[in-house]
Structure 1
Amino acid sequence: MSIEEKKYSGGVPDAYKHDIASEHEYNIEEFADINREHAGSGFLAYFNIVCVIAGTGTLGLPYALKQGGWIGLLILFLAWTMSVYTGVILIRCLYANGKHRISSYKEIATESFGAIGGWITFFFNAWILLGAPVLYVVLSGANLAHLCQNTVAEVVGATNWTIISCVLVLIPFVLVKSMKEVAWMSAFGALTVLVVVLIVLVMACIDQKNQVNVHHDPVIWDQFPIALSTISFSFGGNVVYPNVEASMKKPKQWPKVVAAGMSTCALMYFLTAIPGYYIYGDAVKSPIYDSIPAGVGQIIAVVLMTIHVLISAPILVTSFALDLEEMMNITVERFGRFREFIIRALLRIAIIVVIAIIGCFVPYFDNLMSFIGAFANCALIFIFPIIFYLKLTGVRNKPIYELLWCLLIVILGVVGLIFGSWQAIDALKADIERDRALGISPGA
């Protein structure tokens, strides 16, 4: 172990000692952790989790119940508990080599299945970390264009608002360096989601007297798998967890932090899903604020959700940038403080430029993102963490009930992967056939 590693050697977090010690013979108190000298609290990490996971999922879950019926609540509960478990074991994998903390999802895959496994995981990881911000800035552009209708700003147009949204994301993305430094944004972002949830809840309850002949289904079997994949996607935070945990002063708090973050998101999901579907039934829309009466409440909800996606996007791209910067060894020790900032800023500007180009010009991006998102999200949230965890820490040292739980999680992930991809492919085909029928070029 090097002198630098010893400087930050604080032992393995208590929650991970059992799995590691059962597979490796070494002094766990000499485990080389990363430098946490300027790390933040578990409370700040909690806000990072809530801000990344909540939001668009909160607004789409009533529609998911419309797709699958009331049985979707059971899937929502399973996805919540399963994602807490995989969030915990994914971080355990960072410590599983028994020598030092590895830094990223890609390195976990490399440790498990070599370079090929690492690059496959990195591709999925990058698609989510870049693709979700693209969708966020496109949503922001559309919302801003909608809010500017019948005003002098209407001439700006959705595309230009998307570019403006990218600039707004770029500013904090370049100025902040780590996940700890975006935590204050996460706290505000989490607050905006909570306010939107409360607005939707109150407005929907007020509007209930106007809803007649509302229809509900206990289960819709032919749409159930699609609803399953939609609900499963709502807990997708694994892509940022390694960097969020790295921003914590006390990593042993991680299991509590991820459980609290996921539970907060689940509470908001239930607060919108149940009343949204109960009040509007099979007429509910996605996002849910399109179902509530037009007026001040709806406008405030749209404004706050626009703010939320603009806050969430820097968190996701910061996680991606940190992985890239580590791979490229962009550090103050190597380049000096000024040159490191310039190189890091140029890299992050390039990332935002790519996001802006994709958001403005790639045809059918929403459905293309849904296709690879179904594949990548289910793999990264449910399938990969189980496979990597069992590979790195062993199978025989696990109780049978835990192995059965792992099997159930993988099954849920595979079903969501297959049917979510199937749905997205059908949507892509529909887009292509529509454009052909209209005699226009793809995506025009």
Structure 2
Amino acid sequence: MEESTVSSDTFEKVRIGNVSDCDRSNAGGSLYAYWNIICVICGVGILGLPQALSKGGWAALTLLLLSWFFAIYCSIILIRCLYYSRKQETRLPSFTAIAEDAFGQIGGYILFFFQAWILLGGPVLIFVLCGTNMNELCRGTSCQVGAVPWTIIFCAAVAIPLVFLKSMKDTGWTSILGTVAIVAVSLICVIMAGLDNPNETIGIVNITHTNVIWEGFPAALSTMSLSFGGNVVYPNIEASMKKPHHWPYVVAGALTTCALLYIMVAVSGYYVYGDAVLNPVYYSIPNGPPRLVCIAFITVNITVCAPILLTSFVIEAEAMMGLTVERLGRAREFISRASFRILTAAFCGAIGCVVPYFDHLMALFGAFGFCTTTFIFPILCWWKMTGVRSKPYYQLAWDILILIFGTVGLVFGSWSAIRDLVYAFKNGA
């Protein structure tokens, strides 16, 4: 198969000329896809970026910029892989299907394993943070029942809409709400950081900054990878677009929007609070209404984000298990689908109750799940499905740089996160 350029025109030509497209009769507009992408990736990840800078120093900003550029490139070639199937004449439905087409059934299983870390790990982080946030909002009232009970409540609240979601199009309006909330949180954190006196807020007389901390780079990279990791849901989001040839523009615009918010929050948070900055970052700003508003808004954002991640997982898992109306009938299909989705949400909630260490969990999921699916697998699948020899040397050099980037984050970031989790369990902190 002759390789094409990266332009959107060629992308559309490949889509029409090589395989037949999926059913888009109920698809939505490109703007819905834009909101979905921002809501999925610009939520939990943004909260840990100031602390990521504190681990790697100011030089870690280069990791943020590289993650941004690499993520845009990988998200475009990932979607192009959907239309380069070597084994069928229709568009591939998922990231797992791409890996299976490229590397066989074993490749599909390996990718699904890493994908599950994200699509289930993301909601785990969300339930942990929601439980902590609501307990903080209810401090001093009869509703201050503890983080674990609130985690269970949010798990049940997310399970209800999850049962009825059929496609990513159904999440469009909730994504707009989540995006507005995260933008508001970002602005509040930046403004309050500018007004704050950290000596009074966190009791640090001398705020310290470091230009570069080499040993902290892998941990910083894992958090930044999480902040740009959305590849596992991109095939479903692209399938919900009426005009899929707009994908390069949509994903580049969404990731650029997120990157601007990330830089703004990361720089202001680290500059003001230095090495004492917390994760989530809004716990570093003074107690008062702005902090409570941040907690409330981020809770809204991640609550609407959880169904998007879980919907992506259950849609693919249900297809693998054959939970269809044609096979089971309408009544049995609904009962089976509802039961599976409720159990999935309950599993995530249970993990969140048992492992309530938000910052360490974020680093582990970022390193193990997001580094692989965001940077490593898209390149490997692209090479396998389109060939290596036909690519110019500069493109191969770029691809190899991305592979090294992702591998460093995977190996050293995972080791660092596991070490910190073990320490937290032993010391209860």
CA-CA distance at 1:172 after TM superposition:
1.5
The structure 1 residue matched to 2:11, chosen from 16, 20, 24, is 16
The structure 1 residue matched to 2:125, chosen from 125, 135, 141, is 135
Q: Give yes or no for contact 1:204–1:276 (8 Å, CA) kept in 2.
A: yes
Match of 1:204 in 2: 193
Match of 1:117 in 2: 107
For 2:198 and 2:135, the matched residues in 1 are separated by 32
Matched, 1:195 2:194: no
Q: Is the alpha carbon distance of 1:293 and 1:209 closer, same or farther for their aligned partners in structure 2, counting shifts above 3 Å?
A: closer
The structure 2 residue matched to 1:264, chosen from 257, 260, 263, is 257
Matched, 1:163 2:158: no
Output the amino acid matched with 1:171: I
CA-CA distance at 1:202 after TM superposition:
1.1
Matched, 1:249 2:242: yes
| Structure 1 unaligned regions, length at least 5 | 1-12, 22-27, 436-442
Matched, 1:90 2:83: no
Matches within 5 A, 1:205-354: 205-207=194-196, 213-354=206-347
Output the amino acid matched with 1:226: A
The structure 1 residue matched to 2:167, chosen from 165, 178, 184, is 178
For 1:134 and 1:106, the matched residues in 2 are separated by 21
Q: Give yes or no for contact 1:49–1:258 (8 Å, CA) kept in 2.
A: yes
Q: TM-score, normalised by structure 2?
A: 0.91
Summarize deviations over 1:333-389 as a string: whole Å, max 9, x none: 444444433332222112112222222235879746744641221111101100000
For 1:287 and 1:15, the matched residues in 2 are separated by 42
**Which segment drifts farther, 333-342 or 294-303?**
333-342
Match of 1:5 in 2: none
**Which segment drifts farther, 215-224 or 331-340?**
331-340
CA-CA distance at 1:430 after TM superposition:
1.4
Q: Give yes or no for contact 1:16–1:95 (8 Å, CA) kept in 2.
A: no
Match of 2:4 in 1: none
Match of 1:405 in 2: 398
Q: Is the alpha carbon distance of 1:397 and 1:224 closer, same or farther for their aligned partners in structure 2, counting shifts above 3 Å?
A: same
Q: How many residue pairs get matched?
A: 416
- SS of structure 2 residue aligned to 1:101: coil
CA-CA distance at 1:332 after TM superposition:
3.3
Matches within 5 A, 1:50-61: 50-61=38-49
Matched, 1:106 2:106: no
For 2:355 and 2:264, the matched residues in 1 are separated by 35
Output the amino acid matched with 1:384: F
For 1:274 and 1:157, the matched residues in 2 are separated by 33
For 1:177 and 1:196, the matched residues in 2 are separated by 30
Q: Give yes or no for contact 2:222–2:364 (8 Å, CA) kept in 1.
A: no
Output the amino acid matched with 2:182: V
Q: Give yes or no for contact 1:229–1:419 (8 Å, CA) kept in 2.
A: no
For 2:67 and 2:363, the matched residues in 1 are separated by 18
Q: Give yes or no for contact 1:193–1:304 (8 Å, CA) kept in 2.
A: yes
Q: TM-score, normalised by structure 1?
A: 0.88
- SS of structure 2 residue aligned to 1:113: helix
The structure 2 residue matched to 1:380, chosen from 350, 356, 373, is 373
Q: Is the alpha carbon distance of 1:304 and 1:50 closer, same or farther for their aligned partners in structure 2, counting shifts above 3 Å?
A: same
| Structure 2 unaligned regions, length at least 5 | 1-7
Output the amino acid matched with 1:200: C
For 1:168 and 1:29, the matched residues in 2 are separated by 44
For 1:372 and 1:77, the matched residues in 2 are separated by 20
For 1:168 and 1:77, the matched residues in 2 are separated by 36
Q: Is the alpha carbon distance of 1:406 and 1:263 closer, same or farther for their aligned partners in structure 2, counting shifts above 3 Å?
A: same
Summarize deviations over 1:393-426 as a string: whole Å, max 9, x none: 1112222211111111111101111111121121
For 1:182 and 1:105, the matched residues in 2 are separated by 20
For 1:170 and 1:60, the matched residues in 2 are separated by 26
